[in-house]
Amino acid sequence: MRVIAPDMRQAEIEQMMSEEMDVNDAVLEINSGAGGIDACDWAAMLKRMYLGWATKAGYKAKIVGEQPHEDAGIKSVQIEVQGPYAYGYLKSEIGVHRLVRISPFDAQARRHTAFASVDVTPEIDDDIEIEVAESECRIDTYRASGAGGQHVNTTDSAVRITHIATGIVAACQAERSQHKNKAKAWKMLRAKLYQHELEKRQAEVDAQNAEKKSIEWGSQIRSYVLQPYRMVKDLRTGHESGNTDKVLNGDLQTFMEVWLTRRSGTEAKA
């Protein structure tokens, strides 16, 4: 059962998701940024948060690729989220997320700031044609990392595909078969290229939308402060929560719905 805000019916929220891909499944990607080992630990915390949200919202979530940090946390992770309007909800999370806390990796217990970026792409249907040739890409194979039993790290089954012209990358290591990982990576790449093309077409509209922020360090969409006080605040909508533990455990629905409502109202006035 999908989580529904007490002051708004789910159907009303989903009516705000009028874009073509909103109803689709999604692939969520988290990358650690500025902040060193704290940023990698922060990326792992975000991974746990979104997996928690998916469970609470009734979605299926599967990690399809992950690059761990050698000491703690992760450098990056890709999570496939399956269910109606997965992309419509998760697109509200695109941007830079900022954490302020006493670092558990600092022997002097000083306060540190760490950043991680979240990107989301919709799963596209097979009948949508995205023309991309292997000659336009670089395909790398490598050994899968992370937990998975005795067969992990024994063969170069993981696949990473880089679209040379755009620099867009898709990777998958969820399957033991290189063939299956390659097929999944191609599908993810096509989805990213499709979204890239949509964003190009909407560039002029986006430039007029004051709510739109580029995904770069320094343009965070949300701050999670654990020290000297405890507060999660969305910098786009002003919505905030003092229950940081609840948010970090996946209670994101209200943040998402407030953003969708605000965005819908902005578009209606445009």
Can you give the pLDDT at residue 144? Answer: 77
Can you give the pLDDT at residue 109? Answer: 86
Identify the residue whose tokens are 């989580």: 3
pLDDT over 70 percentage in the chain: 82
Beta bridge mates, 81: 26, 61
- Pairing assessment for the beta strands 95-102 and 220-225 based on DSSP bridges: parallel
What is the rounded average pLDDT of the residues 182-202?
Answer: 82
Give the least confident one: 25-29, 202-206, 220-224, 237-241. 202-206
More confident residue, 75 or 211: 75
Domains of the chain as residue ranges with CATH: 10-126+193-202+215-269 (3.30.70.1660)
- How many Å separate Cα 259 from the centre of its chain? 16
More confident residue, 128 or 215: 128
Identify the residue whose tokens are 């998975």: 148
Can you give the pLDDT at residue 235? Answer: 95
Which residue from 29, 40, 27 is spatially nearest to 99, judged by alpha carbons? 40
Strands (E), 83-199: 95-102, 111-122, 137-142, 158-163, 169-172
What is the rounded average pLDDT of the residues 27-34?
Answer: 93
Q: Is 247 exposed, middle or buried (0-12, 13-18, 19+ CB in 10 A)?
A: buried
Question: Tokens at residue 192, please?
Answer: 């990213």
Q: How many CB atoms lie within 10 A of CB 88?
A: 22
Question: Tokens at residue 83, please?
Answer: 């269910």
Q: How many CB atoms lie within 10 A of CB 25?
A: 20
- Report yes or no: 157 and 177 within 8 Å, Cβ to Cβ: yes
What's the chain's average pLDDT? 84
| Confidence category of residue 35, pLDDT binned at 50, 70, 90 | confident
Instruction: Write b or e for each residue in 127-144: b if 16 or more Cβ atoms lie within 10 A of its Cβ, otherwise e.
Output: eeeeebeeeebeeeeeeb
More confident residue, 229 or 1: 229
**Dist CA 61 CA 53 (whole Å):** 10
Inform me whether the pLDDT recorded for 37 exceeds 90.
yes
**Dist CA 172 CA 202 (whole Å):** 29
Which tens digits make up the pLDDT trace of 212-265? 444 445 578 999 999 999 999 999 999 999 999 999 999 999 999 999 988 876
